[in-house]
Structure 1
Amino acid sequence: MKKTASLFCLCILLTITAMAQDKPAYKLFTKAGKDVKYSRMLDELQKADVVLFGEQHNDPIAHWLQLEIAKDLHKAHQQKFAIGAEMFETDVQLVLDEYLNGQIAENNFEQESRPWPNYKTDYKPVVRFAKDAGIPFVATNVPRRYAAIVASGGLTALDNLTPEAKTYIAPLPIVVEMDLPGYKNMLSMFGSNTHGNTKAQSIVQAQALKDATMAYVILNQVVKGNKVLHLNGSYHSDNYEGIGWYLKQKQPNLKVATITTVTQEDLEKLTDENKNKADFILVVPATMTKNY
């Protein structure tokens, strides 16, 4: 009996030691905070018309998982699949297509498409995968010059754009629901608790212009019959707002699945503040190395 008890204690000690030594790089949860396996999440993502993957731009785990999801969704949807990304602006679609189609060299593409500073480490693998697999890759973000004029003068500043320029943004007029919690938080961040601060309103309108334009480009792919994986900063899709809100305004029955990326000191349990941000929450250790 004593030997059995000693053996039992030893097993418990070894289990605790093994758990203490385990260092997972990430963990997945449902919005309610329940552990979920990648395979189960993938089953749900495959049912969606659009998957919005909200990332922290400097998180390597999110970028790796984006590539893995892209590969697996392509297996499921084959030629009815497209990838979109906030990281490219709509006015570089031509040079993006030329690269994907093998018409121009990679260095020319990287020089002329205005890639983000972390493109080579974080987004290049996904773009190359799309190129090799023949997957449409769409630039979804509004050209920054147009976001800048809205941030300075509000959405009415877009009325003076040429017809050609307007092809790079969502159709006007763009409705902004200032009472959405995310936009209200932005108003507060820029020193306004009301809608009376014109400068703060303009900054929020510039954010909404980005969200509306990304949704517009995504829907163009949906109309073509493609399922879409979209890569964007988490702020553009958290809490089912931003891009998701604009998607639902145009197509209320669209099946949209969302992922967000958060960091926590402890990966064992999803904190209350991170629940309900998205359908699936990717939790990365707070000590994870950042790309910049």
Structure 2
Amino acid sequence: MQNTILSWGALLALVAVLGFAPAKKAYQLFDKTGKKTTYAQMLAELKDADVVLFGEIHNNPISHWLQLEVTQDLYAAEKEKLVLGAEMFEADNQELMNEYLQGIISRKHFEKEAKVWNNHATDYRPLVSFAQKNKLHFVATNIPRRYASVVSKKGFEGLDKLSKTAKKWVAPLPIKVDLSLPGYANMVKMMGGAHGRSMGGMSPQNFARAQAIKDATMAHFILKNRKKKQTFLHFHGTYHSNNFEGIGWYLKQKQKKLKVVTIATVSQAEVGSLSAKNKNLADYIIAVPSSMTKTY
């Protein structure tokens, strides 16, 4: 009888603990001011956007899951008016992308020849496969990495010797760059400041210019491939659009009235509230626990 009473007591204690244990959230969505919002509210605004800049943390599974969810839900609302694009594919591989989407070449050949990222199979293949299945245009927007490397060592002048054909895969030169923008200024500071020493043949300013040529090129191919009344959903590392800079800044230099909605992803110890440093990063901010598992 005593053992039975103890057993019931232990069970009730367990129920009490479980009943008051806080739910574990995989993410929390906030608006730019740090106010909690919902996926439905965000999606409603995305449907009215000309361009959606979805900034990810490259190895974060929540980023990639939500990218696919947003893609599916925007497609359900807009069908063929949706266009996809991504940093993870370089512009000179557009023909390969088109051939794969049209079923001309196999996935094996596409992924072997298109310089896909190491986490492509888990994180980006689902997006490309969705585009193929639903006959959506998927744009390879990034500058070929070899040309970004040239800029990091020689500045924009290093691109002057490119052939006319090669320059098709880069934003029209010369490009405007404002190294005083916080994103680029922080990169210069991280490399030792304006008077920092060259590292591996790369000055702090050229390090930031290499980032700028990526942003400018991605913006260029977004505008080149977006038609009137379409929504262009673009995927990239969150740093490329944080603080409404980067890609978004270059888009607005060309088309000021373009409706651009940005999404940022951040990692925090707790996601119950948005930390001060993460406010105003984007129109919508996905806060993910820092304990979240990673894709690599």
TM-score (norm 2): 0.91
The reply on whether 1:115 has 2:134 as its aligned counterpart is no
The reply on whether 1:124 has 2:128 as its aligned counterpart is no
Residues 201 and 170 of structure 1, relative CA distance in 2, 3 Å threshold: same
1:226 to partner: Cα distance: 2.5
DSSP 3-state at the match of 1:78:
helix
Partner residue, 2:3: none
Paired residues for 1:98-177 under 5 Å: 98-177=99-178
1 CA distance for matches of 2:32 and 2:17? Answer: 28
Paired residues for 1:1-292 under 5 Å: 18=19, 20-193=21-194, 199-223=203-227, 225-292=229-296
2 CA distance for matches of 1:146 and 1:33? Answer: 38
DSSP 3-state at the match of 2:272:
coil
Contact 1:195 1:201 in 2 (8 A): no
Residues 224 and 194 of structure 1, relative CA distance in 2, 3 Å threshold: farther
2 CA distance for matches of 1:56 and 1:36? Answer: 20
Residues 135 and 19 of structure 1, relative CA distance in 2, 3 Å threshold: farther
Contact 2:55 2:240 in 1 (8 A): yes
TM-score (norm 1): 0.92
Residues 226 and 194 of structure 1, relative CA distance in 2, 3 Å threshold: farther
DSSP 3-state at the match of 2:105:
coil
Contact 1:187 1:194 in 2 (8 A): no
Residues 160 and 202 of structure 1, relative CA distance in 2, 3 Å threshold: same
DSSP 3-state at the match of 1:219:
helix
1:21 to partner: Cα distance: 3.7
Partner residue, 1:7: none
DSSP 3-state at the match of 1:22:
coil
1:224 to partner: Cα distance: 5.5
DSSP 3-state at the match of 1:215:
helix
1:266 to partner: Cα distance: 1.2
1 CA distance for matches of 2:288 and 2:215? Answer: 25
RMSD (Å) for aligned C-alpha atoms: 1.8
- In structure 1, stretches of 5+ residues that fail to align are 1-13
Q: State the identity %.
A: 52
1 CA distance for matches of 2:158 and 2:82? Answer: 35
1:202 to partner: Cα distance: 1.1
- Return the letter of the residue paired with 1:150: V
Contact 1:211 1:243 in 2 (8 A): yes
Cα deviations by residue, 1:79-101 (Å, 9 ceiling, x for unpaired): 11100000000000001100000
Contact 1:51 1:230 in 2 (8 A): yes
Cα deviations by residue, 1:126-180 (Å, 9 ceiling, x for unpaired): 1100100111000000000100111110001111110000000110111111110
